[in-house]
Structure 1
Amino acid sequence: MARINDVGGMQGFGAVDTADDAEPFHADWEVRVLGILNALRDQGVFNTDEFRDAIESLPPAEYLATSYYERWFKAICALLERKGVIGPGELDD
Structure 2
Amino acid sequence: MRMSVTEAKGQLTELVRRAEAGDEVILTRHGQAAVRLVPVRIRLDAKARRAVLEAARAAGAAKASARPNAARSQDFLYGDDGLPE
**Which TM-score bucket, shorter chain as reference?**
under 0.3
TM-score under structure 2 normalisation? 0.24
Higher Cα Rg, which structure: 2
More strand by share: 2
